[in-house]
Structure 1
Amino acid sequence: MNSVSKAAIAAAVLLGMPLAMSAPAAAQKKDEAPAIKVSAEFRKAFTAAQAAQKGADIAAFEAALSAAEAVAQNDDEKYYTLLMRYDLETKKRNEVARGAALDRIIAAGRVTGPDLGDLHFVRGQILAAQKKYAEALPHYEQARALASTQPDLPLQRAIALFETNNVQGGVASLDEAIKAQEAAGKKAPEAWYKFAVSKLYQSGNKAVAAEWLSRQLAAYPSNEAWRSSLLIYMEQARAKGVAMDADQELDMLRLMRASKALGGESDYLNYADIAQRRGLPWEAKAVIEEGRAAGKIQASNAAANELYRSATTREKAEGSLAPEATKAASAANGTPAKNVGDAYLGSRDFAKAAEMYRLALQKGGVDANLVNTRLGIALAMQGQKAEAKTAFQAVSGAPRGDIARFWIAWLDQPAA
């Protein structure tokens, strides 16, 4: 009987394919196993088992293999019946017996290097399918250490790490999986990002969850993805005790507006109501007009009509902002400049808003995180991406830092 290379052995096991008694020419390498010695009796029984292996009658295959196992005497004979046993249990879908056979194949020491890593990967998969993630994880670690060629290894290792409550390790492995996809010129599935976000929120790690939401949005920047991701973030933040105040929610709604992610009537009315309560009638009025134009707000909606009437009246009463800007320039601190900046932002005079926010930061005495967020928004809406990102990157803490990261993700989107 001819020799069979380690690579051929590994391929046969991994693919559940019948094992040829000789290796193909491409598999012949310097590291081939020594010539196999078998008895005539075993050769006859094993040949019969190989013939049965090719058929659809599993019972006949098992009977033939049992006969070969019964006459197997030396290590070679036992090893080859073991490989066939793995194939039989795979066909029978007996995962426990299949795993036991694979354990013995690994322990035999005839496969080394990346091929052995591939075997460990398969063993981990078998255990993971049985929800035995703690037992699967060491096999994934061995597969990784042996440079397994299996492309799903980082993802499956990440799942096992998450399921054994190692969230940090799971995130790192999932990041590795995504980067491997990118290196191969592929795009990681959106479900991978969602999985990481879900696990991070469950663990209470809101900051990193927000980063992954930003990555998800950068990779899958549809309007619906923006809407669902921002709503999920706000819901999860509230669930974890990080309730947003009106100013923070307003800046999230502004992002939903910029990303065209405002949904139904309630989104528009909530946005307009918050803007009106924050003293921004220009913005409240504009949002209602947009909702009407998009067919999201019905002409008969009494609440919307009253809000629009009130915003229009207040807008007319406001007059020019120029005198207030002049006063802000000579004020002792930055609060007046911040307030005028808010008014300019609400009326979509983004250049003037940016000017006032910079003045507010220069004078001090203001919430720098809030002012930098809005400076970033004003710059972003003018298309000044680099300057906007610099402002957003100066924002820290939760949820302000998360809001800023979402805006950065929006800026990083490919042009439509």
Structure 2
Amino acid sequence: MKFVSTTALTLALALGAVAVTGATPAAAKKKDDAADASKPKFSDAFRQAAQPAQKAVEAKDWATAKTALAAAQAAASTPDDKYQAGIMAVIVAQNTNDQAALGPAIDQVLASGKAPPEQQIQLYTAQAQTAFNAGKLDVADKGFTQVNTLKPNDPEILISLAAVKSRENQTPAALQYTDQAIAAQKATGQPVDEDWYRRALAIAYDGKQPAGVVKYGQQLVDAYPRADIWRISLQTYRETSQLDPQVDLDTLRLMRATNSLAGERDYYEYANTALNKGFPGEAKAVIDQGMSSNMIDNKALATSKALAEIKSIAGPKVAADKADLPNADKKARAAANGNLAYQTADAYLGYGMYPQAIDLYKVALQKGGVDANVVNLHMGEAQAQGADKAGAAATLAKVTGPSQTIAQYWAIYANKGSAPAAPSQPAAK
């Protein structure tokens, strides 16, 4: 993350037009100070030296202001002198895009002790942004922390602190501030920026935190259920979690349902996993889909031994496998336990025959002798891809244990579906 520009400071000049026209007589000055103890106390030398610089600033004659500012700085002795000189230095640095001078100018204003709270917020924010862009993370950290103290629970400041903590390799703190920023943004009733979720996901991924990858991946896809976001979320989940072949197959099935499979490798992994689990029809259908979507072209199929082998093994088995389904269905309903009903329902699922699959999953649960979590997961998948989205969410909510995480992803799909990918969206790690 790099801040595009520092915060635009709206710093009013503390010296009025009359105040810089010349030295105030000593007696009058004492009378004014007694009447208003809060009135700025400028030295006579500074009043004289600051006049050309202030006039140049007001005229937006930045070249003259920059030259005249040196004399004003040299004459500054009181806290008010230094505050005013620093204000002018900040304005000149911002308007001449002099980033090297901006940081010290802001430091000078803050060190004077004269900046009011609202102005301190602006100054510390600009100081922190400038320091972050310059790679001075300790200064940026202190600056944003100070702003967070002065203006607590501001989403933009919290997400800025998260960015700093991430660069400092303080992963837990970075994610904590991200959580606070997301919660604070939601409390405003405004949508959370997609980049906040993507950044949190990247932090968790780089920090090798599988639980964080799941948490932020699910939040990201729940808020922005596009095909490209589904891919980011599910791929990072697969890469950071040790998934057994069944859970991996259920994850690949969700990638297919959300149109987030991309490239020959994805289709090969899916088809190979399905074939190894005993679903030749699903394996062949995946390869056929890859070809029809141009993710696998005929040349790749001809030159890839792995793909060709899968299709050559799966293809001849499909007709007999599918033809045997009615017989398997009948046997499953007459069986003593639900195991055959579960296996046959899985076959129906692989062929996209969702009503038949749902019916037999219910039979499997009723007969027992099966892992209810896996059966409910697969029944939820069938419902989510069929015509019962609400039923899918209810079914998937029953899943616990090792299948719970992928069930949660499927529940998001049941509730949100998948939108087309955004072509210009950059990929997040």
TM-score normalised by L of structure 1:
0.78
SS at match of 1:263: coil
Cα distance between partner residues in 2 of 1:55 and 1:276: 75
Alpha-carbon spacing, 1:305–1:109, altered in 2? closer, same or farther (3 Å): closer
Q: CA deviation at 1:228?
A: 4.2
Do residues 21 (structure 1) and 15 (structure 2) align?
Answer: yes
Deviations 1:382-412 (A, max 9, x none): 13223222333334456x3332233233233
**2:167 aligned to 158, 163, 166, which one?**
163
Do residues 375 (structure 1) and 379 (structure 2) align?
Answer: yes
Contact 2:337 2:368 in 1 (8 A): yes
Do residues 196 (structure 1) and 200 (structure 2) align?
Answer: yes
**Map 1:373-412 → 2, pairs under 5 A:** 373-396=377-400, 400-412=403-415
**How many pairs are equivalent?**
387
Cα distance between partner residues in 2 of 1:361 and 1:47: 87
Contact 2:274 2:283 in 1 (8 A): yes
Contact 2:82 2:112 in 1 (8 A): no
Do residues 267 (structure 1) and 266 (structure 2) align?
Answer: yes
Give the aligned CA root-mean-square deviation in angstroms.
Answer: 3.5
Q: CA deviation at 1:342?
A: 0.9
**Which amino acid counterpart does residue 165 of structure 2 have in structure 1?**
L
Alpha-carbon spacing, 1:210–1:81, altered in 2? closer, same or farther (3 Å): same
Alpha-carbon spacing, 1:315–1:106, altered in 2? closer, same or farther (3 Å): same
**Map 1:324-335 → 2, pairs under 5 A:** 324-329=328-333, 331-335=335-339
Alpha-carbon spacing, 1:292–1:128, altered in 2? closer, same or farther (3 Å): closer
Contact 1:337 1:356 in 2 (8 A): yes
**1:55 aligned to 46, 49, 61, which one?**
61
Q: Percent identity?
A: 34
Do residues 93 (structure 1) and 87 (structure 2) align?
Answer: no
Cα distance between partner residues in 2 of 1:37 and 1:114: 21
Deviations 1:99-142 (A, max 9, x none): 44434433444334444333332332233234333443343233
Cα distance between partner residues in 2 of 1:370 and 1:193: 29
Cα distance between partner residues in 1 of 2:395 and 2:198: 28
Alpha-carbon spacing, 1:172–1:411, altered in 2? closer, same or farther (3 Å): farther
Contact 2:338 2:367 in 1 (8 A): yes
**Map 1:74-113 → 2, pairs under 5 A:** 74-88=78-92, 91=96, 93=98, 95=100, 98-113=102-117
SS at match of 2:121: helix
Contact 2:165 2:174 in 1 (8 A): yes
Contact 1:262 1:268 in 2 (8 A): yes
**Which amino acid counterpart does residue 262 of structure 2 have in structure 1?**
G
Cα distance between partner residues in 2 of 1:119 and 1:297: 55
Contact 1:268 1:291 in 2 (8 A): yes
Q: Identify the residue that residue 247 of structure 1 maps to in structure 2.
A: 246
Cα distance between partner residues in 2 of 1:389 and 1:171: 28
Q: Identify the residue that residue 287 of structure 1 maps to in structure 2.
A: 286
TM-score normalised by L of structure 2:
0.76
Q: CA deviation at 1:156?
A: 0.7
Q: Identify the residue that residue 350 of structure 2 maps to in structure 1.
A: 346
Alpha-carbon spacing, 1:100–1:46, altered in 2? closer, same or farther (3 Å): same
**Which amino acid counterpart does residue 282 of structure 1 have in structure 2?**
G
Structure 2: which 5+ runs fail to align? Answer: 1-6, 18-35, 420-429
Cα distance between partner residues in 2 of 1:37 and 1:307: 85
Q: CA deviation at 1:195?
A: 1.8
